[in-house]
Amino acid sequence: MPKSAIRIPIGRPDIGRKEIEAVLETMKSNWVTQGEKVEQFENAFAQYCGAKHGVAVNNGTAALHTALAALGIKQGDEVITTPLSCVATTNPIIYMNAKPVFVDVEDTTLNINISLIEKKITPKTKAIIPVHLFGHPVDCDPLMEIAEKHDIQIVEDCAQSHGAKYKGKKVGVFGHVSCFSFYADKPMTTVEGGIVLTDDEELAEKMRLLRSFGMSKREKFFHPVLGYNYKMTDINAAIGLVQLRKLEGYIKRKRHNISYLRRQLDHIRITLPKELEYAFNVYYVCSILTEKGNEKIVQRLEHQGIETRPLLSFIPEQPPYLKYRTNLKELNVARNAHKNGFYISNSPKLTEKELDYVVSSLTKATADASR
């Protein structure tokens, strides 16, 4: 049987005339590296989320690395995080020569299970990195209570959750710092880019120093600290300013897509993304959990032209992280979700015809897999 002529890729960024015009305007200005546009974008995005300061960088991994460095995470420290995420969540911990400590996830949201965190806290625990996975907020109130009780820093990983809300308040303002990615498939994009948000002015200044080689503002080519080259360009920021104005529309469309799929697929035995009472989910992608292995369903969807991805990475089981000797039996929910789950596109550009095609293909694929 030939493959379908229809193609629904995971990522379909909405780069249009306004983004192109913004790039051209910036290029004609003869200032294309970090400059005025970056500052405008930092201020606009921080204001959108409700934070006081934004420090733009060149990607989401750099945002997390810069945040951990500014917080003083060092060799021998421990940082608690989720085992089910992009490895970009864990890698900056290791860049700081600290140890990642993995805590299992909830079976409803696949976010880190807050009730299990305190069991993993030791005198070496200096930070927790919760991930608002796939756009659903972590339960922030009990998390912040744990942080205050044990004097631990919270670094929110908001890479997939632009505009998501916890009890009516946007994510990105609950932790001591928060980190966003603006990669091409994220809820909004700068093509490549990231940002760190904080209400702490001193911390923001330290991160600005770190992202630019550690170079003093007052004295060119004097470096009081070891820094990085993590600057965002004005070209990326110009795109981001346009995308930010579109973000609420993107979120509205993404929520519509999932609502539509829920109604049309309530007859088949798969689990679509949830939204708990405290949450406003922005549904970064359409995550799908099956009752058994998903191999047959994934193969059928791919054959039908619907691109799929695993539920990111089950990080502790991959070669670079084995040395941390994580007890995988304590991470069964995350491990099973990774085994039995996958995701497909939830682009705001999906048409109703494409959504109907997804419904038809998923219905047939799950029926075939159950035979």
SS (H, E, C) 191-214: ECCEEEEECCHHHHHHHHHHHECC
Q: Does residue 144 form part of some domain?
A: yes
254-296 pLDDT per residue, tens:
999 999 999 999 989 899 999 999 999 999 999 999 987 689 9
196-233 pLDDT per residue, tens:
999 999 999 999 999 999 998 888 899 999 999 999 99
Q: Does residue 4 form part of some domain?
A: no
Domain enclosing residue 298, as ranges: 247-369
Q: What are phi and psi of 197, to 5 degrees?
A: -110, 145
pLDDT given at position 322: 96
pLDDT given at position 1: 42
Q: Does residue 178 form part of some domain?
A: yes
Q: Is pLDDT above 80 for 14?
A: yes
Same domain for 235 and 254, yes or no, is no
The residue to which tokens 């969807």 are assigned? 301
Q: Does residue 12 form part of some domain?
A: no
Tokens of 296: 């047959």
Same domain for 181 and 268, yes or no, is no
Same domain for 110 and 229, yes or no, is yes
Q: What is the mean pLDDT of residues 326-344?
A: 96
Tokens of 264: 């049309």
132-187 pLDDT per residue, tens:
999 999 999 999 999 999 999 999 999 999 999 999 999 999 999 999 999 999 99
Same domain for 220 and 278, yes or no, is no
187-204 pLDDT per residue, tens:
999 999 999 999 999 999
Same domain for 64 and 185, yes or no, is yes
The last residue of a domain, from among 241, 260, 293: 241
Q: What are phi and psi of 68, to 5 degrees?
A: -65, -40
pLDDT given at position 159: 98
The last residue of a domain, from among 208, 241, 274: 241
186 part of the active site: yes
Other C-beta atoms lying within 10 Å of the C-beta of residue 363: 15
The residue to which tokens 């470096």 are assigned? 223
Same domain for 317 and 354, yes or no, is yes
> Confidence band (pLDDT; 50, 70, 90) for 4?
low
Q: Does residue 102 form part of some domain?
A: yes
Q: Is pLDDT above 50 for 243?
A: yes
Same domain for 152 and 259, yes or no, is no
> Confidence band (pLDDT; 50, 70, 90) for 312?
very high
DSSP 3-state assignment of 115?
A: helix
Tokens of 325: 């000797």
Q: Does residue 342 form part of some domain?
A: yes
CATH code where residue 170 lies: 3.40.640.10
In contact, 235 and 182? CB cutoff 8 Å? no
Alpha-carbon gap, residue 157 to 100, rounded angstroms? 15
DSSP 3-state assignment of 155?
A: strand
Q: What is the mean pLDDT of residues 75-94?
A: 98
Q: Is pLDDT above 90 for 370?
A: no
Tokens of 160: 């997939």
- Which H or E run includes 301? helix 295-303
Same domain for 124 and 44, yes or no, is yes
Same domain for 253 and 224, yes or no, is no
25-60 pLDDT per residue, tens:
999 998 999 999 999 999 999 999 999 999 999 999
Same domain for 106 and 91, yes or no, is yes
Q: What is the mean pLDDT of the chain?
A: 96
Q: What is the mean pLDDT of residues 65-89?
A: 98
The last residue of a domain, from among 219, 241, 263: 241
Instruction: For Cα atoms 152, 154, 157, give the angle at the middle one, nearest 5 degrees.
Output: 155
Q: What is the mean pLDDT of residues 85-99?
A: 98
Q: What is the mean pLDDT of residues 70-89?
A: 98
Q: What is the mean pLDDT of residues 309-327?
A: 95
Instruction: For Cα atoms 200, 85, 239, give the angle at the middle one, nearest 5 degrees.
Output: 60
What is the β-pairing status of strands 286-290 and 270-271? antiparallel
What is the β-pairing status of strands 165-166 and 169-170? antiparallel
> Confidence band (pLDDT; 50, 70, 90) for 3?
low
pLDDT given at position 39: 98
Same domain for 212 and 182, yes or no, is yes
114-123 pLDDT per residue, tens:
999 999 999 9
Q: Minimal CA–CA distance to 80: which of 55, 110, 114, 107?
A: 114
In contact, 239 and 124? CB cutoff 8 Å? no
Q: Does residue 236 form part of some domain?
A: yes
Question: Residue 330: is it exposed, middle or buried by C-beta count within 10 angstroms (0-12/13-18/19+)?
Answer: middle
What is the β-pairing status of strands 286-290 and 313-314? unpaired
Same domain for 84 and 49, yes or no, is yes
The structural domain count of the chain equals 2
Q: Does residue 122 form part of some domain?
A: yes
CATH code where residue 313 lies: 3.90.1150.10
DSSP 3-state assignment of 63?
A: helix
Q: What is the mean pLDDT of residues 78-89?
A: 98
Q: Give the active site residue among 37, 126, 170, 186.
A: 186
